[in-house]
């Protein structure tokens, strides 16, 4: 007698195909940025700002950290490498008017004495945000919740 139904091999193939499809589709509909990814982005920006400040002091010249808000990337003045940020993160740059290159690109300037023109870069996703703050007098970089 023959029984109607599926073999074990057929079931395993279908389950494997469903797993592959789920692995490809789920990341496309991923939710908002996690808090740890948001914090990591703020730390990456703070590290870039600290690098720009240390270059200004050690090389005794003005140094900039250039931020492209629309392109979600930043670059330290004379460094060739651009640092990409996650595309789902919202950025806002608050800096001196004369350091705005365009509507979407601006910079934070550091002086040879360690000071800065000051500014703030806000990294946000939904209601969560971190502010990377640069003190104008000391050039100190801090991440604020």
Query: pLDDT tens digits for 29-61?
Result: 666 778 889 999 999 999 999 999 999 999 999
Tokens of 42: 């703020």
- Compute CA distances 34 → 40, 89, 131, whole Å: 10, 10, 16
Q: What is the number of helices (H) and of strands (E) in the chain?
A: 2, 8
pLDDT digits (tens, 9 = 90+) for 91-141: 999 998 988 988 999 999 999 999 999 999 999 988 889 999 999 999 999
* Cα 1 to Cα 21: distance, rounded to the nearest angstrom: 36
**Pick from 44, 37, 33, 32: which is nearest to 143 by CA?**
44
Tokens of 79: 């460094």
Give the domains, in start order, of the chain with CATH numbers. 35-144 (3.55.40.10)
């Amino acid at each position: 007698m023959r029984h109607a139904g599926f073999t074990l091999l057929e079931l395993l193939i279908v389950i494997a195909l469903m797993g592959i499809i789920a692995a490809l589709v789920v990341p496309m509909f991923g939710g908002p940025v996690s808090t740890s990814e948001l914090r990591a982005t703020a730390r990456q920006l703070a590290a870039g700002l600290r690098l720009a400040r240390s270059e200004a002091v050690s090389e005794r010249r003005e140094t900039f950290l250039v931020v492209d808000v629309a392109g979600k990337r930043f670059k330290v003045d004379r460094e060739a490498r651009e640092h990409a940020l996650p595309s789902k993160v919202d950025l806002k740059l608050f800096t001196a008017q004369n350091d705005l290159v365009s509507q979407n690109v601006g910079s934070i300037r550091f002086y040879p004495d360690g000071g800065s023109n000051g500014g703030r870069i806000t990294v946000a996703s939904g209601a969560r945000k971190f502010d990377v703050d640069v003190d104008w007098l000391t050039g100190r970089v801090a991440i604020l919740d």
